[in-house]
Amino acid sequence: MSEQVTTMERLGRRIAERRESLNLSRQDLADRSGVAVGYVAYLEDQSGISVREALARLAVALETTVEELLGEVAGIPLGTGPTAAHATLEVLDENECLHLLRPGGVGRIAFEGRYGLTVLPVNFRMSEGSIVFRTVSGGSTDQDLSTGVENVEYGVAFEVDRIEEVTRGGWSVLVHGSLHHVTSDEERAEAEQTGVEPWAGGQRQRYLKIRPTRLTGRRIQPG
């Protein structure tokens, strides 16, 4: 029983925290998800476990996934299920791409490293339209992402996606831009204010910033 209660509490807390991070009231969330506001309150206050379909609708409204809300570790890889019937592919404009990136999370940076094309996961946050993440100062990633020429920045790609296994929907955003090493005290203060934590933990005090030059995105809408 104690393990079940812990799961319930975590679920309710995750829904409430995610809603508040998006500056949504309970009524706003109810309107966006089509779930009764009383049920939203029940989930948050009494932390009950909802049926999978209701959770899926809440997750879509919160721009996250059921697995992230529940803190589940999936037993099978994402994307192995059937595709959604009558799904449509929507092209996202730059404003919508920035809106999806704004909450931060985990993304993947792609670049030409010393051993060839390299893709790495990083935690990121947004600051004044730029993507901020951290790595080890003087480490392999820091060195790979430096041109060694003053005022010449490294070209990179950055990808973020959210996939919902239950509804078979989701979105992805692709960023092309220049990689900038944060060096000035003013820039560092701005980067620190994002609160971004390094993907691998530890003492990773080098702040890097991607300045987007091109933003593209796609959203799959289940039929």
Q: What is the pLDDT of residue 52?
A: 60
Q: What angle do CA 76, 80, 84 make, to 5 degrees?
A: 130
Domain boundaries, position 199: 88-221
Same domain (yes/no): 113, 209: yes
Length of the chain: 223
In angstroms, what CA-CA distances link 77 with 36, 69, 158? 32, 17, 22
198 in Cβ contact with 117 (< 8 Å): no
Same domain (yes/no): 102, 183: yes
What do you get for the CA distance between the two ends of the chain, in Å? Answer: 38
Q: What is the CATH number of the domain that holds 64?
A: 1.10.260.40
Q: What is the pLDDT of residue 189?
A: 92
Same domain (yes/no): 95, 65: no
Same domain (yes/no): 57, 157: no
Q: What is the pTM of this model?
A: 0.64
26 in Cβ contact with 35 (< 8 Å): no
Same domain (yes/no): 143, 182: yes
Q: What is the pLDDT of residue 49?
A: 47
Backbone angles phi, psi at 127, to 5 degrees: -145, 115
Torsion-angle region of 2 (φ positive above 0: left; ψ -120 to 50: alpha; else: beta):
alpha
Q: What is the pLDDT of residue 213?
A: 95
- Whether 178 is in a domain gets the answer yes
In which residue ranges of the chain is pLDDT below 50? 1-6, 48-50, 73-74
Q: What is the pLDDT of residue 199?
A: 76
180 in Cβ contact with 208 (< 8 Å): yes
Same domain (yes/no): 116, 212: yes
Last residue of a domain, one of 70, 100, 117: 70
Q: What is the CATH number of the domain that holds 126?
A: 2.30.110.10
Give the number of other CB atoms < 10 A from CB of residue 122. 22
Q: What is the pLDDT of residue 176?
A: 96
Q: What is the pLDDT of residue 101?
A: 94
Rounded to an integer, what distance in angstroms lies between the CA atom of residue 190 and that of residue 122?
A: 19
Q: What is the pLDDT of residue 148?
A: 60
Q: What is the pLDDT of residue 150?
A: 61
Same domain (yes/no): 132, 167: yes
At 138, list the tokens.
């003087």
Residue-wise pLDDT for 61-109, tens only, equals 887 777 677 665 445 566 665 666 667 889 999 999 999 999 898 999 9
Q: Which helix (H) or strand (E) holds 132?
A: strand 130-135
The total number of structural domains in the chain stands at 2
Q: What is the pLDDT of residue 149?
A: 59
- Whether 40 is in a domain gets the answer yes
89 in Cβ contact with 81 (< 8 Å): no
Same domain (yes/no): 64, 95: no
- Whether 83 is in a domain gets the answer no
Same domain (yes/no): 109, 140: yes
Same domain (yes/no): 118, 186: yes
Residues in a beta bridge with 89: 220
Helix (H, G, I), strand (E, B) or coil at 223: coil
167 in Cβ contact with 160 (< 8 Å): no
